[in-house]
Structure 1
Amino acid sequence: MTQMPQSLHGLRVLVVDDEADIREFITVVLESHGMSVKAVASAAAAFEVLKPFQPDVLVCDIRMPGGSGYDLIRQIRDLEAKEGGHLPATAITAYQDEDWEESRKAGFEAHLHKFAQPIEWVETITQLAGQTSV
């Protein structure tokens, strides 16, 4: 098992999930590791807070009403193509049948299951942010 740093202070994570209980749980887990978390309920809200919050990593549900995680990551990648920069991103889903290949093609670098052990979320986010384990 990978040993995680005691604190990941300063790492900003944008969490996007339409389910309030999932958003809150992910927020608690990440904040317990010292991350700064902004959690929103929709792709539109995520796009709105993207520039002011300037996240280091995006954690985004795939299936959401009013705009999927695929739609959001494509919007972000289009914006990056115009303005530069890159936001590392992981899809997160409760569905076993979600296609990792489709997530990757849409622009996500990782794919997590909502029912994975929370340490897997932290490890993936840490890797995406370029943080190293101790």
Structure 2
Amino acid sequence: MHTNSNEMTAGRETMNPDPRMQNRAPPADALKGLRLLIVDDQDDMRYLLLRVLKRYGAEVKEANSVQSALVMLASFDPNVIISDISMPAETGYDFVRKLRKNIEADKSKEEKIPAIALTSHSDPIDKKKALDEGFQVHIAKPVNYQQLVEIVSVLATLDGDAVEHGVDPSQLPPVPLKH
């Protein structure tokens, strides 16, 4: 199946973006009060995401590996996680599987944490795998930061049931695919 470069993947389906969203900037406080965790082995990517997300008011922690992210989660309870897929030692898939397993085992955690796969892997099979592994949204790099901010703000409002059973793509702002 050929995917149009103006489509997005979220939840369990692909949809066309809303052209009205193309040049709309989120409000400066769009992420105020949200706690976010970035998991990426690339220093420059973590730095860019950190700057953008903090500019919109989020409290942001960063981890350069799956292991350091899991350790960080013992003392930091994020509203949303943004994770790369390709990392040395363990992948973003490994991370989200361990995250879901740890949350299932910890009965004090009432809700699942929404997770965004932010990756250079943009083939349809990669998108399907990210969603099947437990990510709620797959975004191909390079990312439109304004759209990322909007997606984070929507994911942060989801309850645990919505996270577990998939995100309704109509709730999310459009994310153009890169090919």
Does the TM-score normalized on the shorter chain lie above 0.5?
Answer: yes
Aligned-pair identity in percent equals 35
> Which residue does the alignment assign to 2:7?
none
1:102-117 alignment, distance < 5 Å: 102-117=129-144
> Which residue does the alignment assign to 2:88?
65
Spell out structure 1 runs of 4+ moving beyond 6 A: none
1:113-128 alignment, distance < 5 Å: 113-128=140-155
Paired residues, what number?
132
> Which residue does the alignment assign to 2:34?
11
1:1-134 alignment, distance < 5 Å: 1=21, 4-7=26-29, 8-84=31-107, 85-97=111-123, 99-130=126-157
Q: Which runs of 5+ in 1 are unaligned?
A: none
Name which one, 1 or 2, has greater alpha-carbon Rg.
Answer: 2
Q: What is the CA distance between 1:3 and its match in structure 2?
A: 5.6
* In 2: Cα distance, 1:4 partner to 1:79 partner: 33
* In 2: Cα distance, 1:121 partner to 1:66 partner: 27
Q: Which runs of 5+ in 2 are unaligned?
A: 1-20, 159-170, 172-179
> Which residue does the alignment assign to 2:15?
none
Give the alignment's TM-score, normalised by structure 1. 0.91
Give the alignment's TM-score, normalised by structure 2. 0.69
* In 2: Cα distance, 1:69 partner to 1:81 partner: 18
What secondary structure sits across from 1:18 in the alignment? coil
Q: What is the CA distance between 1:5 and its match in structure 2?
A: 3.5
* In 1: Cα distance, 2:48 partner to 2:91 partner: 20
* In 2: Cα distance, 1:53 partner to 1:83 partner: 14
Which whole-Å deviations, capped at 9, do the CAs of 1:67-89 have from their partners, x for residues lacking one? 10000100011112122431110
In terms of fraction of residues, the more helix-rich structure is 1
